[in-house]
Amino acid sequence: MTILRSPRTPSGATDRGIPDATVARLPVYLRALTSLADQGVASCSSHELSVAAGVNPAKLRKDLSYLGSYGTRGVGYEVEYLGYQIAREIGQTQDWEVVIVGVGNLGAALSNYQGFSTRGIRVAALVDADEKRIGQEIAGIKVSALADLPQIIDERKISIGIIATPAEAAQQVTDLLVAAGVTSILNFAPAIVHVPEGVDVRKVDLSIELQILAYHEQRKSVAPTTIQTAVSL
């Protein structure tokens, strides 16, 4: 016996809800709308918004169509209203408390990062394995011991954890977070971590981003020759 997932609804979304690619862009649209609102713009077309968000206007409209019909044909979108609808959809009407594990250079920078608070993200706790760091204050938060992690997560009902440890510690920290009840992890450590079903992991890998750019750089320096060869045939 197998549970079948309906392949795709008539609108194009699957029964999992909004497509992943769209979810990843909604925060970008929200930021663009907030910026427009700050400039005193009350309404805008899909074209204007798409320029601010750096996407194709058709893609923007398709993305917004998954949320509902919040525009007016012939006119455009009301900036504040659309912003509220997106914020509601992505859960930004509430605050999300996160714990950062590992307060080395990167962890400390994340703790001090100003961009989180306006996006509904609050760094609620800092944890480290290093004795020398425990008890220190970073961004006004006292660093706790790794052993206190379960209690912190339980008391503060934290469901999102950030891993900013060395690669060697990443899997162990992941297991601790998951055991304590965390169901979403943002992993900055350059290591693949394995999690049980139901837990989401996103990975940000600084070296890999640069390696991808380096690949394209390499191609740029050899490509002209290739094209010339093709043309001269």
The residues near 150 (Cβ < 8 Å, ≥ 6 apart) are 176, 179, 180
Question: Residue 71 interacts with DNA (CB under 7 A)?
Answer: yes
Whose tokens are 């408390």? That residue is 97
Q: How far is CA 213 from the centre of its chain?
A: 20
Taking CB under 7 A as the criterion, the residue among 35, 56, 211, 218 binding DNA is 56
Asked if 115 interacts with DNA (CB under 7 A), we say no
Cα 27 to the center of its chain, rounded Å? 8
Cβ proximity of 183 and 198 under 8 Å: yes
x-or-dash pattern for DNA, window 12-41, by CB under 7 A?
Answer: x-x----xxxx-------------------
Parallel, antiparallel or unpaired: strands 141-145 and 160-163: unpaired
Q: What is the 3-state secondary structure (H, E, C) of 63-121?
A: HHHCCCCCEECCCEEEHHHHHHHHHHHCCCCCCEEEEEECCCHHHHHHHHCCCCHHHCE
59 binds, among DNA, a copy of itself, none (CB under 5 to 8 A by kind): DNA
Which residue's CB is nearer to DNA, number 77 or number 188? 77
CB of 233 to a copy of itself, least distance (A): 14
- Residue 82 or 101 with smaller CB distance to DNA: 82
**Which residue of 68, 131, 220, 224 would you call a contact of a copy of itself, by CB under 8 A?**
220
| Polymer length of the chain | 233
x/- site string to a copy of itself, residues 150 to 189, per CB under 8 A? ---------xx-x--------------------xxxx---
Expressed in angstroms, the distance from the first to the final Cα of the chain is: 58
**Residues in contact with a copy of itself by the rule CB under 8 A:** 17, 23-24, 26-28, 31-32, 52-54, 89-92, 96, 98, 105-106, 108-110, 112-113, 115-116, 119-121, 159-160, 162, 183-186, 190, 192, 194, 198, 200, 202, 204-220
